[in-house]
């Protein structure tokens, strides 16, 4: 869609791009001789009530859905109460999706894989929500995942909703918002939630903590170092896909898959009672993509039978509470005026070797507690 035909509304994420579900079409200009009725004058966007948010989400009105997510993403204190209320009302309708995390290096083919898999699933009658957790947006305020036009075909399908990563704030903040966005999408009836992240930092641990199944996308030929795939990341995965197994690259991909399969034998499984295996696929040709979904469905069936699925979800809710408390305390600590005043002085002393790290920490904590009293 060209800029002349459409625009991003002010409540949409800046780097939403064409794949963003809430791009708004411009209306048709009326000529001056056409008498404007109140209905034809553009209405100022009004605040929605809690009821309007809740009903709109439950009806899967994509505009209201996007606005509800924007509301819970907002850091403005005046939105806080309303966001809480909307979430509280939506909570009983959530939890019924299959939550799948997808990680891997940029360029590994994650978005193409999501596009191919997503289109197949929509064909089968599923409704797909695609969310991203992009740690780069918390550091540079830009975004690796959101910069390019992604999942064009998928984004045009009615059964799909794509939401880019909330920008700014800490990874903890992004994680909280993504968790709440999952709940909202589930209430809107999306039965598969795909959460994409880049496998180069802490974000894959954050995503692992909010999904049922975790998929690691790799490519052949790039060394493990380059792929940022340390043992730790492989240990988080429930399946490992060597993508781009097509054309001349197919043989390399098969070899890489065998090597990863060997390595996996020495690792503890990410999920109790489930063996993490390596596969090859091609997001380009679609080969092996149906099998990914079969693998995920088998995983769901087995872990639901053994109770591991439910146990993990329960553990995740508890972890969520603790991580929110930790985030709150950290944020509160570093934004405290006394801490902000003391911090550069203490850093300076540390650099000069005039202060022990233990004493530095004690002094900062003291400054914090005294000002909080
Ligand atoms: P992401 O950064 O992990 O999301 O990767 P993309 O999905 O954007 O893919 C990066 C590049 O690899 C793009 O040019 C894709 O066209 C290409 N690509 C993705 N999947 C495949 C595949 O299965 N086979 C081949 N040959 N190319 C692929």
Ligand 1 atom nearest residue 283's Cα: 23
More confident residue, 127 or 73: 127
Residues 6+ apart with CB under 8 A from 132: 145, 146, 163, 164, 165, 195, 196, 197
Cβ(95)–Cβ(186) under 8 Å? Answer: yes
Mean pLDDT of 45-56: 91
pLDDT at residue number 135: 66
Cβ(122)–Cβ(163) under 8 Å? Answer: no
Mutate to test the pocket of ligand 1, among 17, 105, 107 (most ligand atoms within 8 A of CB): 107
Mean pLDDT of 278-285: 95
pLDDT at residue number 9: 47
Residue that has been written with the tokens 């009725």 in this structure: 37
Ligand 1 atom nearest residue 217's Cα: 3
pLDDT at residue number 138: 52
The response to whether residue 178 sits with its C-beta less than 6 Å from ligand 1 reads no
Mean pLDDT of the chain: 83
Residue that has been written with the tokens 């600590």 in this structure: 333
pLDDT confidence tier of residue 136, bands split at 50, 70 and 90 = low
pLDDT at 126 over 70: yes
Q: Which of 298-312, 313-327, 355-369 is predicted with the least confidence, judged by mean pLDDT?
A: 313-327
pLDDT at residue number 32: 40
What is the Å distance from ligand 1's center to 170 Cα? 28
More confident residue, 233 or 91: 91
pLDDT at residue number 359: 94
Kindly report, residue by residue over 51-64, the tens digit of the pLDDT: 999 999 999 999 99
Q: Which tokens in the block code for residue 17?
A: 């791009």
Instruction: Give the largest CA-CA distance in the chain.
Output: 78
pLDDT at residue number 6: 46
More confident residue, 42 or 277: 277
Mean pLDDT of 21-37: 42
pLDDT at residue number 87: 94
> Is 215 in a helix, a strand, or coil?
strand
**Cα–Cα distances in angstroms (integers) from residue 371 to residues 343, 359, 367, in the given order:** 14, 18, 6
Ligand 1 atom nearest residue 198's Cα: 3
**DSSP state for residue 38 in the 8-state scheme:** G
Cβ(117)–Cβ(151) under 8 Å? Answer: no
Domain 321-372 falls under CATH 1.10.287.130: yes
The response to whether residue 243 sits with its C-beta less than 6 Å from ligand 1 reads yes
What is the Å distance from ligand 1's center to 112 Cα? 6
Mean pLDDT of 224-235: 64
More confident residue, 16 or 222: 222
What is the Å distance from ligand 1's center to 331 Cα? 37
Kindly report, residue by residue over 311-332, the tens digit of the pLDDT: 999 999 998 888 888 878 888 8
CATH, domain range 54-316: 3.40.50.300
pLDDT at 2 over 60: no
pLDDT at residue number 77: 80
pLDDT at 13 over 90: no
Residues 6+ apart with CB under 8 A from 298: none
**Domain boundaries in the chain?**
54-316, 321-372
Burial 287-311 (b: 16+ CB within 10 A, else e): ebbeebbebbeebeeebeeeebbee
Burial 183-196 (b: 16+ CB within 10 A, else e): bbbbbbbbbbbbbb
The response to whether residue 99 sits with its C-beta less than 6 Å from ligand 1 reads no
Mean pLDDT of 7-19: 48
Ligand 1 atom nearest residue 282's Cα: 23
pLDDT at residue number 203: 83
Mutual angle of helices 171-187 and 50-58, in 10-degree steps? 70
pTM of the model: 0.80
The response to whether residue 282 sits with its C-beta less than 6 Å from ligand 1 reads yes
């Amino acid at each position: 869609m060209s800029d002349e035909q459409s625009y991003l509304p002010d409540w949409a994420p800046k780097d939403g791009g064409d794949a963003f579900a809430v791009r708004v079409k411009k209306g048709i200009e009326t000529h001056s001789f056409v008498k404007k009725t109140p209905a034809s004058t553009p209405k100022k966007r009004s605040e929605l009530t809690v009821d309007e948010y809740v009903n709109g989400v439950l009806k899967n009105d994509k505009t209201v859905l996007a606005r509800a997510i924007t509301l819970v993403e907002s850091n403005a204190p005046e939105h806080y109460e309303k966001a809480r209320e909307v979430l509280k009302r939506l909570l009983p309708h959530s939890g019924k999706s299959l939550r799948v995390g997808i990680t891997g290096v940029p360029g590994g083919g994650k978005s193409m894989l999501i596009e191919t898999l997503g289109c197949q699933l929509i064909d089968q009658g599923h409704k797909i929500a695609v969310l991203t957790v992009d740690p780069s947006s918390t550091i540079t305020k830009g975004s690796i995942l959101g910069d390019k036009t992604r999942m064009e075909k998928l984004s045009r399908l009615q059964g799909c909703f794509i939401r880019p990563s909330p920008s700014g704030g800490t990874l903890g903040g992004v994680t909280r918002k993504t968790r709440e966005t999952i709940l909202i999408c589930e209430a809107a009836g999306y039965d598969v939630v795909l959460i994409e992240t880049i496998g180069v930092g802490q974000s894959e641990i954050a995503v692992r903590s909010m999904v049922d199944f975790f998929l690691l996308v790799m490519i052949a030929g790039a060394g493990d170092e380059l792929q940022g795939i340390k043992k730790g990341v492989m240990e988080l995965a429930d399946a490992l896909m060597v993508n781009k197994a097509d054309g001349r690259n197919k043989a390399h991909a098969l070899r890489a898959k065998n090597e990863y399969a060997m390595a996996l034998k020495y690792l503890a499984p990410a999920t109790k009672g489930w063996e993490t295996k390596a596969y090859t696929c091609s997001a380009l040709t679609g080969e092996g993509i149906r099998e990914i979904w079969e693998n995920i469905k088998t995983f769901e069936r087995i872990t639901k039978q053994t109770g591991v699925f439910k146990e993990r979800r329960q553990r995740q809710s508890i972890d969520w509470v603790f991580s929110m408390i930790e985030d709150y305390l950290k944020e509160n600590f570093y934004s405290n005026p006394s801490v902000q005043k003391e911090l550069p002085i203490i850093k300076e002393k540390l650099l000069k070797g005039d202060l022990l790290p233990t004493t530095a920490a004690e002094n900062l904590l003291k400054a914090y507690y005294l000002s909080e009293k």
